[in-house]
Each structure stands twice: as C-alpha cells, then as structure tokens.
Amino acid sequence: MSKERAQWGSKFGFILAAAGSAVGLGNIWKFPYITGENGGGWFVLIYLICIAAVGLPIMIAEIFIGRTARNSPVGAFRTLSTPGSPWLGVGWLGVVTAFVILSYYSVVAGWSMHYVWLSLRGVLAQVPVDQVAGLFSSGDAAHPGLYESPWTNLFWHLLFMAMTIGIVIGGVQHGVERWSRILMPALFLIMLALLVQAALTPGFGQALDFVFGPHTEKLTPASVLEALGHSFFTLSLGMGAMITYGSYLTQEDDLVTTAITVSVLDTLIALMACMVLFPVIFSYGMEPAAGPGLVFVSLPIAFAQMPAGMLWATVFFVLLTFAALTSAISLLEVAVSYFIDERGWARRRATWTCGIAILLAGIPSALSGGTRLFGADVQAATARLGLRGGAGLNWFDTLDYLASNWMLPLGGLGIALFVAWRVGGRAREEGFRAGTRYARLYWGWVWLLRYLVPIGMSVVFLHAIGVINFAASGG
C-alpha cells in the first residue's frame, strides 16, 4: 500500500495545502471577532504564545503520525498501535469530526458566496444603511434575511460542496495540490490588497493600537481559555486533516520545519485579517466587540458607507470563500482517504460517495435557519453562530457545539497522549529529528505533549462543556 500511495508533487505544494487547510473561516471570521470581544492587545499576545506552546506541538504530532504510518487516520493509529487497541478510536474520531464539521461548515461558506453575489449586484449600495443588517437576519417573515432563508442556504450549500468535490476528485497532486497552488497565493494577494486599502482608512492607527497595544481591560480567565482553544482549532487540528496530509509526505521530509512554516502562515493571515477588518470598523464608528456578526452584519454596514465599498466588499467575500474552500478540501480528503486506504475504493468512487453523503448530512443545517428556535432578531441569530448561551439549539448549532466543544478537544488530547506516551521513543525521536535543523527541540516537544498540552486541552474541554466555569470575557 505504501508504494502505491499518492505523494505530494513537492514540499512547497504540501505547505500550501496544509496552510490552506489551516487558513479558513477561523482566521478571517472567528479570530477577529474573538479578538474584538476580548479587547485585543494582551489577548493577541496570549494567543501567539498558545500557538507556539500548544498548537504547534500537536501539529508536529499529527504530521508525524501521518508521515510515519503513511495511512489515513484510522489506519495510522492501527499501524502505530496494536490490533484492537482503543487508540483506534482517536483515528475514527478524526474521520467522523471532519465529516460532521464539513456538513455545516459548507453552509457558512455559502453565506460568504451569497455576499459575493450581493456585492456584485450592488445590493449593499442600494439598501439603506440601517437595513443592511437585515440582509443577514431581518426578523421579518415577509422579507427574510439570509439566515432565515433555508432554500437560499441550501442552494449555496449544494454549490459549495460541488466545488469541493470537483477539486478533491482530481487526487492529491492534480486536485488538492494544484488548486492549493492557485487558491493560496490568490488568497494572500487579496489579503495584501485589502490590507493596503485598510491602511489608507482613518481608523488604521486606532486598529493598530487595539490589536497590538498593551490592553488588559477585557482580559479574563475565560479570555485566556478562548485564546488557548482557538490556537488549537485554527490550525485544523484534531480532525484528521494534518494526519491525512502528512501521510502523503516521504520519510525524508522535514516535518518540524514544515509545521512551523504552516503555523506561521496561519497566524500571519489571522493577524492580517484583524488589520483588514478593524480599520474599517473603527473608521465608520462600528463596535469591534460585535461578536460573530462582525463579518456578516457589521462589516457590510461599513462597506455600504465606503467609497468603492462594493468593490472592496466583493474582494473581501471572495477572500472569505477561498479560505473556506481550502479548508473544506482538507476535510473532505480525510473522509475520502479512509475509503481509499481502508476499503480499497478508487478515488472517484470514494469522493463522490463521501461528498454526496456530507452534502445530504448538511441539508438540515442549511434548512435550520428557518426554524428560528432562538427568535428572529439579529442579536439572537449571531449569538447562535458563537453558541452564546445553550438553550434551544437547532441542528446547525448542535453539530457546531458537539464538534467544537467535544470532538475536537478530545481528538487533540488523544493525539498528544498517543504520540507522547504510546509511540515508541526511538521511532518518535527519529521521526522528529529526520532532516531537520530543529533536532535540539525534541525533548521540549515531548515535554509539551506529555504535560502542558494535555492539561491545557483538558481545561479547555471542561470549560467548554460547563464543568469548569470562568467569568465570560468583558464587553
């Protein structure tokens, strides 16, 4: 199997694909809004520390598992443990998590595609400023917003999944890698163009101080846990993606340098996203702590008031769509690789089967906006996106809650414990040191995986499910 297994065409292709998996809605949507909610400043610094101390060690561990076993998550844990070992459950958890996340992630990606369409049609310029928020959630059954329009959500969900299937069916080199080489440079160039535009706005200096100034006013224990949790989620960890992508590497590839490069690119995009969004928000008197509605409610209002606002709105939501697509590719590849490796299916059969299954599983999430279980106003609709509160979750919310608060933390915890305590010390050390100039960091990596990462992931998990309670972030 290992001789026939697909490989990346180049190390650069893998880095772009892995960075594409990591760079997604979490960077351009979630990180800016949690930064706004937690006051910027020290929250950003803590986040950077968490990336280095928690996110990066787990990423190295995931790539190590994939590269060593040269198999999909389930097969990788079977190869590196014993037959019938309970560790196999961690591999299964990764596959199931990727499947679940993509089923509703594609709905959110559809929102960004819908806003590209609205921008191209000039709708944001035509609608009065005080009615722009209603484009997302109006609370009016006669004139529903996007969230309350199940058939519109379903259309974009189907289109986005069709795009994802079309790329993954091409294979590792001719599908995933080829499109990563197109989408990632395009994403970065778009981000640079938006950053230059943001630097010309009156609010750029205020945004710079907000993001990087020494602010602690809204910093709480819950803020620290949010930074820790997001440092893990933003790198696409705990869902089998990095194990799967790592399995297409050769044993000679430097996994440490690769993981560092991907982590740096992911973090850079997240910080650039803040410096694209917050100058616009501050320039037009918007609130940085707008929560999950920052991108789909606050930002369109600001774009509607900007000179050439429709142009920049189009560019921004194209950027958001590209980011969502690069992550979706990796999520589908996790499920596809399982059927190729474990069931011996051809890629075309595996891709169509998994893609259609995920598409069907995502239909309830696409339709759930119309249920209005929280009420129909914008505040309630955007609260659902961040799971603020916990009552009355619809299908979309329930899947998001299970994946974010249960499946991902448990998957990451299992990966850290497996590599730190179950994998043989010699194989682990040789795998880490192979071809890297960072060989001297090996024991530090092992120590983090054995102690700091499990403690951090356990606290994040217990806080997320309500066993441990800290005061919510300020604001």
**What's the pLDDT tens digit per position in 340-364?**
999 999 999 999 999 999 999 999 9
pLDDT digits 0-9 by tens, 18-35: 999 998 888 888 899 899
More confident residue, 62 or 29: 62
Helix, strand and coil in the chain, % to nearest 5: 75, 0, 25
Could you give the domains of the chain?
A: 11-464 (1.20.1740)
Average pLDDT estimate for 63-68: 95
| Mean pLDDT in residue range 301-320 | 87
- What per-residue confidence (pLDDT) applies to 125? 79
Three-state SS string over 89-120 comes to HHHHHHHHHHHHHHHHHHHHHHHHHHHHHHHH
Tens digit of pLDDT for each residue in 131-169?
Answer: 888 888 776 666 778 888 889 999 999 999 999 999 999
Average pLDDT over residues 441-462: 95
pLDDT of residue 385: 40
pLDDT of residue 471: 57
pLDDT band at 373 (very low <50, low <70, confident <90, very high): very low
Phi, psi dihedral angles at 237 (to 5 degrees): -95, 155
> What is the per-residue pLDDT across 184-235, written as a single tens digit (0 to 9) for each?
999 999 999 999 999 999 999 999 999 999 888 888 888 998 899 888 888 9
Cα–Cα dist 385/183, whole Å: 26
Q: Looking at this protein, which amino acid is placed at residue 248?
A: Y
Confidence of residue 74 (pLDDT cuts 50, 70, 90): very high
The predicted pLDDT at position 383 comes to 42
Among 14-28, 232-246, 285-299, name the one with the lowest average pLDDT.
285-299
Query: Considering the chain, what percentage of its residues have pLDDT values greater than 90?
Result: 61
Q: What is the mean pLDDT of the chain?
A: 87
Q: How many residues in total does the chain contain? A: 475
Say if residue 472's pLDDT is above 80: no
| Residues 439-456, mean pLDDT to the nearest whole number | 96
Q: Residue 399: what pLDDT?
A: 86
Has residue 242 got a pLDDT over 90? yes
Q: Determine how many CB atoms are found less than 10 A away from the CB of residue 53.
A: 16
* Residue 215 confidence (pLDDT): 85
- State the pLDDT confidence band at 91, using cuts at 50, 70 and 90: very high
**When comparing pLDDT for 291 and 436, which is higher?**
436
pLDDT recorded at residue 163: 97
pLDDT score, position 331? 96
pLDDT at residue number 290? 66
Examine the pLDDT at 444 and tell me if it is beyond 70: yes
Residue 243 pLDDT level (bands cut at 50, 70, 90): very high
The confidence score (pLDDT) of residue 306 equals: 80
Q: What is the pLDDT of residue 393?
A: 61
The CA-based dihedral angle spanning residues 345, 348, 353, 359, taken in that order and rounded to the nearest 10 degrees = 150
Does the pLDDT of residue 83 top 80, yes or no?
no
User: Residue 375: what pLDDT?
Assistant: 33
**Tokens 């309970």, residue?**
86
What pLDDT was estimated at residue 474? 41
Would you state the pLDDT for residue 300?
86
Write down the pTM of the prediction. 0.90
Are the C-beta atoms of residues 358 and 399 closer than 8 Å to each other?
Answer: no
By the 8 A CB rule, do 442 and 433 touch? yes
d(CA 257, CA 47): 21
Band (292; pLDDT cuts 50, 70, 90): low
6 vs 272, which has greater pLDDT?
272
Mean pLDDT over 407-427 rounds to: 93
